Amino acid sequence: MRVKVPPHLKELWVRKEAHAHAKQAVLLDQGGSEKGDKLAMTRFLALFILMSAFAVSVGLSSDHASAASVYCDQHSVGGTAYGLTYKTYIDAYGDPSCSGSRKAAYDYYAYVNQNNTNIDNDYARAWECGTLLYSYGPTYRSSFGPGAWNILWGGWGGLNSCGFQADLHVRYWATGYFDFWTYTNF
């Protein structure tokens, strides 16, 4: 059975429907805004985590820092020939640690396994970022050895902010037997 709706009631019904749709639209907008906030927060957190991961990866790819220690490293050179053994070395120290802008120190050593060896310390030098701090030598020692680690010179070398920089040139000799020069570049 069909009922004929009067025009004024039909218009009222249309307005009511429109109002209901508008109300729903407002509710949807409010709900969408809350969801948008959550989404934005999630995106922000995701970006933060990614950027942190990026920073960590960059940090990992950088040079490793040296472990804190007073004794830092050694550079040595030596040789053996026909029963003769000799060795020259530089020990590097940092105070209070080995890395960064720390005070640096060097000990210059020589060793030989033969009696009555002469030693000429031609020079023992150190630099700070390319600037010469000292050049010790030449000095001479006779009746050197055998078998002992003999310190030739020890000195503070400023800062090691550019890394340790030192070298040593030593001559071991016994007339008619041997004559060797060693050069050590730390």
Partner 1 sequence: MTRIWNTLRTKRPFLTLAVLLLALAAATVLVSSNVSVEAGGSAARFSPQDAAAQAQVLANEQLTQTLSKAGSDGLPLVQVNGHAVRVADLTQVELAYHSNASSVASSGGEIESRLAGNYNVWVAVWKRADVSMRDWNGAAGTIIVGLVFEDGTGRLLSANVGRINPNKK
When asked if residue 96 is in the footprint of partner 1 (CB under 8 A), the reply is no
When asked if residue 160 is in the footprint of partner 1 (CB under 8 A), the reply is no
Position among 5, 12, 46, 65 found at the interface with partner 1 (CB under 8 A): 46
When asked if residue 57 is in the footprint of partner 1 (CB under 8 A), the reply is yes
| Spatial separation of the C-alpha atoms in residues 180 and 33, rounded to whole Å | 84
Identity of residue 136: Y
Q: Which stretch binds partner 1 (CB under 8 A): 21-29, 125-133, 137-145, 166-174?
A: 166-174
Position among 4, 58, 67, 142 found at the interface with partner 1 (CB under 8 A): 58
| Spatial separation of the C-alpha atoms in residues 159 and 14, rounded to whole Å | 88
When asked if residue 181 is in the footprint of partner 1 (CB under 8 A), the reply is yes
When asked if residue 51 is in the footprint of partner 1 (CB under 8 A), the reply is yes
Pairing mode, strands 150-159 and 103-112: antiparallel
When asked if residue 176 is in the footprint of partner 1 (CB under 8 A), the reply is yes
When asked if residue 147 is in the footprint of partner 1 (CB under 8 A), the reply is no
| Spatial separation of the C-alpha atoms in residues 116 and 118, rounded to whole Å | 6
89 and 130 Cβ atoms separated by less than 8 Å: no
Footprint of partner 1 on 60-79 (CB under 8 A): 60-61, 73-79
Identity of residue 73: D
115 and 145 Cβ atoms separated by less than 8 Å: yes
When asked if residue 142 is in the footprint of partner 1 (CB under 8 A), the reply is no
- By C-alpha distance, which of 180, 15, 42 is closest to 112? 180
Binding site for partner 1 (CB under 8 A): 43, 46-47, 50-51, 53-54, 57-58, 60-61, 73-84, 87, 89, 92, 164, 169, 171-172, 175-186
